[in-house]
Amino acid sequence: MASSKGDEPRKKGSMPSGVRGPGGPPPVGASGKGGQQRPNLPGGAPAPSPARQRFEELSYGPLRTLHSMPRWIIVIAPAILLFGGLILTGPLSWLGGLLLLVVWAFIAWLTALSWPALSPGSRAFRALVVLALFGVVVLKFMGRF
């Protein structure tokens, strides 16, 4: 049987093409000097503004806390708040508005954090979701939803 290129023995320590090894792929944007740079953003986006950098720095603590929580809590808690906010009507609609406001703030915060890495279509859809939820919050506070 004729041997193909893939059947040839490899040199010790070499890997087939496409395999990165146990360390995984190198960090995106990592310099050869061991330091890390910000990942490349779509469309060759410019460097972030000082306000954006400050926003990301302030978000690091809450993100670290969210990362340490069980994943089901991060899904179930906003879902419960959303459900509770939508079903509270009548004299308790103000409480429903507060619950929805918390969900809106969480979604708006995550959207703002991911904004530079999103494609234009994803940005439009997420902005639409954030605006629609804010509209529901306003209607809820007015007692019309």
In a domain, 75, yes or no: yes
In a domain, 128, yes or no: yes
Give the mean pLDDT of the chain: 81
Residues 71-79 have a mean pLDDT of 95
Q: How many domains does the chain have?
A: 1
pTM, rounded to two decimals: 0.67
Give the separation between CA 66 and CA 55, rounded to whole angstroms: 17
Residues 140-145 have a mean pLDDT of 89
% of the chain beyond a pLDDT of 90: 63
In a domain, 63, yes or no: yes
Residues 14-65 have pLDDT tens digits of: 555 555 555 555 555 444 444 444 555 555 667 888 999 999 999 999 999 9
Alpha-helical runs (H) found in the chain? 50-68, 71-87, 93-114, 120-142
- Over the range 18-36, which residues count as b (16 or more CB within 10 Å of their CB) and which as e? eeeeeeeeeeeeeeeeeee
In a domain, 137, yes or no: yes
Structural domain harbouring 66? 51-145
In a domain, 6, yes or no: no
Q: How far apart are the first and last CA of the chain?
A: 74
Distances in Å between the alpha carbon of 69 and those of 60, 66, 82, 99? 15, 5, 20, 21
In a domain, 140, yes or no: yes
Residues 14-27 have pLDDT tens digits of: 555 555 555 555 55
Structure tokens at 77: 């808690």
